[in-house]
Amino acid sequence: VNTTDEQQVALERSRRLFRHFARTQCEGRSALYTRLGHGVADDEELLRLLLDAPPSQRRPSLLLASVNHLLGEYRDDPLAAYYPIHGGDREADDQALSPFRAFCRAHRAELRDLLATRNTQTNEVRRCFALRLGLARIAELWPGPVALLEIGASAGLNLALDAYTYRVAGREIGPAGGSSVTLSTVLRGGGGVDGLLGELPEIGYRMGADLDPVDLAADAGAARWLEAFIWPEQVEELAVLRAAVELSKRHRYPMVRADACTDTAALVAEVPGDLPVVVFTASLLSYLDATARTRFVGRLAQAARGRAVAWLFTEAPGLVSRTDVTAPALAGPLRGNGEVYAVGVSLRTRTGRYDEVLALAHPYGEWIAPARERGDDFAWSATELNLPPRQRASGP
C-alpha cells in the first residue's frame, strides 16, 4: 500500500468517525457540533487536518477541542459567534461550516501543533453519580471502609466525589456546609433514586492513575485544555468544571502516571493496609483496543488474588460485555451497545465473583436510569429510553 492509499484509507475512516460522532453523540445535544460533525465528514480539506494527529488520537473530539481551545484566544473571530461558551449567541445554521473552515485555514500551524501533541482528555464530573451509586452498593455488600483507585482518572476530579453536592429528581445531598460544586442529572426509566443518594463508605485511601495525568497544580494551562472538551452550548458545564478544578486543587489527591494494561495489579497491591480496593473506570475502555482490554481485565483478576477488589465501571455495555463480567443486562440487546453506558460493579475475591449492573447512564452523565430490580436485564430500556438499535460500541 503506498502513502496515498494509506492516506485515503485514513481519510475514509475519519469520515465515518465524524458521521458516527455527529449522529450518535451530537444530535440532540449540540446543534453546532451536529452541523460541524456532518460538515467535516463531507469536507476533504477539513478531514485531512486530523491526519496530523497520531493514528490513535484521530478522534473527532480532538479536532473540535483543538479549534475550541484556539477560539478562546480569538473571541473576535466570526466563528466565536456560534459558541455561547465564548460569548456567542448565534443559532447554529447551515452557514456555520464556512467560518469553521476559515478559522482552521487561518490557524493551520497552531492547529497542527495541538493535533500532533495533545490527547483527547476529558474529565466529566457528572460521572460521579455513577461512582456514588456503585460505592453505595459496594458498601452494602462489603460494609466498612474502602480504598478508591481511579484508573484513567485524567485530572482526578472524580476523586473528590464527597466534596460535591448532588441534585437529582428534586432531591439534593452533599457535604455539611455545602459545596462550590453542584452536580445535576436527570433520573430516567422508572427506577428509584435512593441508591444514587445512598450512604457512601468511608474512603480510607484514594489515588488516581492515568497514562497521561493532568497535573492541575503544576501546569497552569492544563485546566484550559480540559475546558476545550466542553461543548459550545454548555455554559453551565463549563462553570461546573471550573469550580471542580478549583476545589480539587485544594484536595490534591495523588495522581500517578500508569498504564491500565500493565500496572493495575501493582497499583492495587501498593495500596497500604488491607482495605478492599475499588478500581473505578469511567470511559476508559473505549481507549483500549481488544488486546489492551483483555490485559486490563487480566490485571484485575491478578490483583484479586492478593486482596478484595471491586471493579466499578461506567462504560459502554458493548465493551464491558467483551470482558469477563457477566450480568443479564450484558447478555441482551445492550451486549453490542456503545451509545449508553452501563454502571456496574464486579466484586472479586480470591474465592468468588459477584457482578451486577446497577444502571444505564448517558456517557457524560446527563441522565441516569437505575435498575428496577436486582439482576435487571434492562429489557425495558430499548423502548423506554428510546435507545437506538444495536450499534457498534464506541465512546467519547
- Residues in contact with ligand SAM by CB under 6 A are 119, 121-124, 127, 151-154, 158, 210-212, 259-261, 282-284, 287-288, 396
Q: What gap in Å lies between CA 88 and CA 78, rounded to an integer?
A: 9
Closer Cβ to ligand SAM, 26 or 46, answer by number? 26
Residue 101 beta carbon to ligand SAM: minimum distance, rounded to whole angstroms: 27
Residue 28 beta carbon to ligand SAM: minimum distance, rounded to whole angstroms: 20
Closer Cβ to ligand SAM, 154 or 179, answer by number? 154
Closer Cβ to ligand SAM, 125 or 357, answer by number? 125
Residue nearest to ligand SAM according to CB distances in the complex? 152
Closer Cβ to ligand SAM, 38 or 122, answer by number? 122
Closer Cβ to ligand SAM, 100 or 129, answer by number? 129
Q: What gap in Å lies between CA 396 and CA 391, rounded to an integer?
A: 15
Residue 256 beta carbon to ligand SAM: minimum distance, rounded to whole angstroms: 10
Residue 116 beta carbon to ligand SAM: minimum distance, rounded to whole angstroms: 17
Residue 248 beta carbon to ligand SAM: minimum distance, rounded to whole angstroms: 12
Estimate the crossing angle of helix 3-21 against helix 60-71, to 10 degrees: 80
Residue 131 beta carbon to ligand SAM: minimum distance, rounded to whole angstroms: 9
Closer Cβ to ligand SAM, 32 or 153, answer by number? 153
